[in-house]
Amino acid sequence: MTRDALIDDEINHRLSKASSAFGKFRERLWDKSGIKLTTKLKVYKATVITTAQLRWAGHLVRMPDTRLPKKAPYSELKVGKRSHGQFKRYKDCLKANLKNCDISVDAWEQHACDREQWRKRIHDGAAKFEANCILQAKQKRAQRKSRQNQALGQTGIQCPECRKTFLAKIGLYSHMRTQNQN
């Protein structure tokens, strides 16, 4: 925040970081035609938001205990109770993200004290988590396709040249047209 209480620079900085993170998924996620959009968004949210939360948690661990940002996520309300709203607490989400990134829940605070090591762990863990999400999406798609093929039995139409099976004549016609052009 600037002296005149403007946060425009901070907002622009965060938007550029989000845009950069979004762009990094171009080849590995957005340009893949075999993955549904909902799955792509889940992978993006899981990896980008998880990474941001884990980096923030590491920053909190390295902060002095007197700072308010460090006190807030770990504090409890003295008066009143929660009747509506969020069911998961910050700690619950953090624990789930640590597990997803294969970081020890018991020893993460010790690891976070070393900033470079912590960032490397987050990067490696997020890469594994992303790869696992994409693999699970591909496996679910393959299962769905195999169930469709089993339900249809041998009623598919085969291409006489490459033996690829199509469920509808229009698929075969389109395939044959593209094959004849090459």
Q: Per residue of the chain (182 residues), give pLDDT as tens.
A: 456 666 777 778 777 877 777 777 777 777 877 778 887 787 777 777 788 888 889 998 998 888 888 877 767 666 666 666 666 777 888 898 899 889 999 999 999 999 999 999 998 998 888 888 888 888 988 888 787 767 656 567 888 888 888 878 888 888 988 887 76
Q: Are 39 and 137 in contact (CB under 8 A)?
A: yes
- Can you tell me the distance from the alpha carbon of 5 to that of 8, in angstroms, rounded to the nearest whole number? 9
- Res 103: pLDDT: 92
Model-level pTM? 0.58
- Residue 34: strand, helix, or coil: coil
Q: Two tokens at 9? A: 């620079």
- Can you tell me the distance from the alpha carbon of 182 to that of 178, in angstroms, rounded to the nearest whole number? 7
- Can you tell me the distance from the alpha carbon of 125 to that of 105, in angstroms, rounded to the nearest whole number? 13
- Can you tell me the distance from the alpha carbon of 45 to that of 29, in angstroms, rounded to the nearest whole number? 12
Q: Are 53 and 45 in contact (CB under 8 A)?
A: no
Residue ranges of domains in the chain: 32-145
User: Shortest CA distance to 101 belongs to which of 131, 76, 79, 74?
Assistant: 131
